[in-house]
């Protein structure tokens, strides 16, 4: 290659890598795989090595991460948060080990192998055992200050046990795979863009401007490195993990000390096969030299340490044929295109259906019937289309025509402003009714196990159930007459429906299927508004005083209760004896009947933990000070809530009083 052509290719690669780096680190919306990104980066590094005068210190091949996002204060990292060089096969690992042995003059070497989480890297700073600052990696030298958001992550301790006076540790914030699947399912149903993978979901959750939104997502964190501890001398990575666990951090439980590269490769092979056992998205193994003195001898480049490397798992992807694209209708009328593909095995699971999410996604990827597509499983769970093999496309292929009418009932389809999801406008649509019944009967709602998919279809198609309350009017003879429905099965279903009338008010509220009201939101609303009448009368402003309820959720709740059809549905459910209030179900616990508000940055524990602990004692915890507030718990940095509490004469409790309450001493509240 000539120098001129090399310069041209280097410019192309830098431009492409800058784009993909911005999409990954700053927008949490990658459009290529890690493998493809690394391939481009390696090509750039080779060209810059071959033509040194074309290299530049700001080249993507020599720098780390992305820029600080808007809306967050920059935080310099005293110790850079470097990235890792990646390897994709055992020969690369053997070559890395050989270089290390030559440089250190020692063989064999000892290593610590850790599962590589695909999450968001963070630095956590503690002074005198107290959590004071949390920041994202950013470009490795300057990150985003997200202390308040990180304080909502239960795995990140606010107070450490026997820790050094000054301590900075590095960890990985992630979203468990099951939580990721539930989050995407909810977002798709609500017409919101889905996250491509758990890493994007974790990053998006942590970068919420309002920490209350972060707190609503079950983020977790594993810590794995001590970045700074001036008064502490650590001898090995094994000791680092032991110390982190002793101080109170969560560490990845499958880390293993390995003697020699042979044991390292055995560990990599083992977890390549076992990665599906993990409830977090793992994309490889991090191999670290165990001895910290030897790490210091090996040193680092400007981008990555020489004493550690990542072994990346092979991508779980396969090529298959799109045989059909069908459009499904959900309980809120959301139209979701689904590709039915030729069955293919990916990661030990047979995939035959792949969600295409929404019309915009179908257009962007241009997926068509008859296309050959590459499919991966996000987080090892959810299959999605990575790319279309356009060179294999049939000559007479046409774009998929997204319907303008509902494929089930024929009603017009509309797309609300600002949403990606098109919806059927007919609230009587049978598809919406079927999905609504399945949601109503689900385990977390009314828990009617006998209402399976086939039976729900039969009940709706035969006109036995036209609205959800009709379930409670079903008779034994009607059910027993259905195909494959014996009298015993019919009797069991009626017993389950009768038993469901005892489900508590929050579960009934969740079962109603109000958009954006999940299990936890339903509990919060039921705790604040003790009856369905009180909830239906609440204004948007009153709804937003509930912890975790923002303008969008408040708007959806108001919209639901303003529909006459929904009010009629509630009255029929009341007539059948369902619990639509806490009447006769007094909250139990020593703090029952008391509403608390938390304000400021609590030093002894995250506010979410304090909220859960108070609720466990029977209290309600609200987001804003109102006339129902009985006590305000305050910590450093308290603002307008504290001012209003003083103005209204509401008793104020400090953290010492909170600790006494949580330890069973009710005297601070006069009980």
Domain ranges of the chain: 3-54, 74-181+198-312, 317-403, 430-500, 505-575, 595-669
If one counts every other C-beta atom within 10 angstroms of the C-beta of residue 349, the result is: 13
CA gap 488, 480 in Å, rounded: 8
Strand spans (E) along 266-334: 282-289, 308-312, 317-329
pLDDT value, residue 68: 45
CB 326 within 8 A of CB 333: no
CB 577 within 8 A of CB 502: no
pLDDT value, residue 64: 52
pLDDT value, residue 62: 59
Residues of the chain with pLDDT under 50: 67-69, 584
pLDDT value, residue 520: 76
CA gap 200, 515 in Å, rounded: 23
| Cα-Cα end-to-end distance for the chain | 83
Residue 397: alpha-carbon gap to chain centroid: 37
What are 184's two structure tokens?
């995407």
Helix, strand, coil % over all residues of the chain, rounded to 5? 40, 20, 40
CATH of domain 595-669: 3.40.50.10190
Which value, in Å, is the radius of gyration of the alpha carbons in the chain? 28
Angle of helix 177-189 relative to helix 198-206, nearest 10 degrees, comes to 80
Region for residue 13 given its phi and psi (left: phi exceeds 0; alpha: psi -120 to 50; beta: otherwise) = alpha
CA gap 506, 135 in Å, rounded: 36
Class of domain 317-403: mainly beta
CB 460 within 8 A of CB 434: yes
Helix (H) or strand (E) holding 233, with range, is none
Partners of residue 288 on adjacent β-strands: 112, 308
What CATH fold (topology level) applies to the domain 430-500? Answer: DNA polymerase; domain 1 (1.10.150)
CB 324 within 8 A of CB 348: no
Pairing of strands 620-622, 595-599: parallel
pLDDT value, residue 154: 84
530 class by beta-carbon count within 10 Å (0-12 exposed, 13-18 middle, 19+ buried): middle
Region for residue 468 given its phi and psi (left: phi exceeds 0; alpha: psi -120 to 50; beta: otherwise) = alpha
Say yes or no: do domains 430-500 and 505-575 share a fold: yes
CB 168 within 8 A of CB 125: yes
Pairing of strands 120-127, 130-136: antiparallel
Judged by DSSP in three states, 323 sits in strand
CATH of domain 74-181+198-312: 3.30.470.30
CB 659 within 8 A of CB 617: no
If one counts every other C-beta atom within 10 angstroms of the C-beta of residue 291, the result is: 21
If one counts every other C-beta atom within 10 angstroms of the C-beta of residue 209, the result is: 10
Question: Which residues participate in catalysis according to the annotation?
Answer: 116
CATH architecture type of domain 505-575: Orthogonal Bundle (1.10)
User: Does pTM top 0.75 for this prediction?
Assistant: no
Partners of residue 337 on adjacent β-strands: 327
| Integer CA distances (angstroms), 505 to 376, 530, 586, in order | 41, 9, 12
CA gap 159, 167 in Å, rounded: 12
Class of domain 3-54: mainly alpha
Partners of residue 76 on adjacent β-strands: 142
């Amino acid at each position: 290659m000539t120098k001129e052509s090399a310069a041209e290719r280097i410019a192309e690669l830098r431009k492409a890598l800058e784009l993909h780096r911005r999409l990954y680190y700053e927008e949490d919306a990658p459009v290529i795989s890690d493998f493809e990104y690394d391939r481009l980066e390696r090509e750039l590094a080779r060209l810059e090595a071959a033509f040194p005068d074309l290299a530049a210190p700001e080249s993507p091949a020599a720098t780390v991460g992305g820029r600080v996002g808007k809306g967050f204060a920059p935080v310099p990292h005293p110790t850079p948060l470097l990235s890792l060089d990646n390897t994709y096969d055992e020969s690369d690992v053997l070559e890395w080990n050989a270089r290390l042995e030559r440089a250190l003059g020692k063989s064999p070497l000892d290593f610590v192998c850790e599962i590589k989480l695909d999450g968001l890297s963070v630095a956590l700073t503690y002074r005198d055992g107290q959590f004071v600052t949390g920041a994202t990696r950013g470009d490795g030298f300057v990150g985003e200050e997200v202390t308040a958001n990180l304080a909502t992550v239960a795995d990140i301790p606010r107070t450490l046990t026997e820790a050094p006076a000054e301590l900075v540790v590095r960890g990985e914030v992630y979203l468990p795979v099951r939580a990721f699947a539930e989050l995407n399912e909810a977002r798709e149903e609500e017409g919101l863009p889905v996250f491509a993978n758990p890493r994007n979901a974790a990053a998006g959750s942590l970068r919420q401007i309002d920490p209350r939104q972060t707190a609503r997502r079950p983020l977790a964190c594993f810590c794995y490195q001590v970045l700074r501890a001036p008064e502490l001398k650590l001898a090995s990575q094994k000791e680092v993990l032991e110390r982190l666990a002793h101080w109170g951090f969560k560490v990845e439980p499958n880390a293993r000390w390995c003697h020699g590269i042979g044991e390292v490769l055995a560990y990599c092979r083992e977890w390549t096969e076992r990665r599906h056992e993990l409830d977090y998205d793992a994309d490889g193994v991090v191999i670290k030299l165990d001895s910290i003195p030897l790490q210091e001898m090996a040193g680092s480049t400007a981008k990555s340490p020489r004493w550690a490397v990542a072994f990346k798992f092979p991508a779980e992807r396969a090529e298959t044929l799109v045989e059909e694209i069908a459009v499904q209708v959900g309980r809120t009328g959301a139209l979701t295109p689904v590709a039915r593909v030729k069955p293919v095995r990916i990661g030990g699971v047979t995939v035959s259906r792949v969600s295409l999410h929404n019309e915009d996604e179908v257009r962007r990827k241009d997926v068509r019937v008859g296309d050959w597509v590459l499919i991966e499983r996000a987080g090892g769970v959810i299959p999605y289309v990575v790319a279309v093999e356009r060179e294999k496309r049939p000559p007479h292929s046409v774009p998929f025509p997204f319907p303008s009418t509902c494929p089930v009932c024929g009603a017009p389809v509309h797309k609300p402003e600002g949403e990606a999801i098109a919806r059927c406008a007919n609230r009587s649509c049978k598809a919406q009714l079927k999905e609504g019944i399945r949601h109503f009967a689900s385990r977390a709602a009314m828990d009617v196990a006998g209402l399976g998919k086939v039976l729900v279809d039969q009940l709706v198609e035969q006109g036995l159930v036209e609205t959800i309350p009709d379930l409670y009017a079903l008779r034994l003879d009607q059910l027993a007459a259905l195909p494959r429905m014996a009298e015993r099965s019919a009797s069991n279903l009626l017993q389950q429906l009768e038993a469901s009338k005892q489900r508590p008010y929050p579960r009934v509220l969740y079962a109603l299927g109000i958009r954006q009201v999940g299990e936890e939101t339903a509990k919060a609303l039921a705790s604040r508004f003790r009856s369905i009448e009180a909830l239906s009368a609440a204004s948007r402003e009153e709804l937003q005083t509930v912890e975790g309820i923002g303008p969008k959720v408040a708007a959806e709740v108001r919209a639901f209760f303003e529909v006459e059809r929904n009010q009629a549905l509630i009255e029929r459910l009341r007539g059948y004896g369902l619990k639509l209030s806490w009447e006769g179900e007094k909250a139990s616990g020593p703090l029952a009947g008391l509403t608390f508000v938390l304000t400021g940055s609590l030093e002894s524990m995250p506010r979410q933990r304090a909220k859960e602990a108070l609720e466990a004692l029977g209290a309600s915890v609200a987001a804003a000070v109102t006339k129902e507030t009985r006590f305000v718990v305050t910590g450093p940095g308290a603002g307008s809530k504290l001012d209003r509490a003083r103005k209204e004469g509401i008793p104020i409790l400090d953290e010492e009083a909170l600790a006494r309450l949580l330890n069973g001493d009710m005297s601070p509240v006069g009980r």
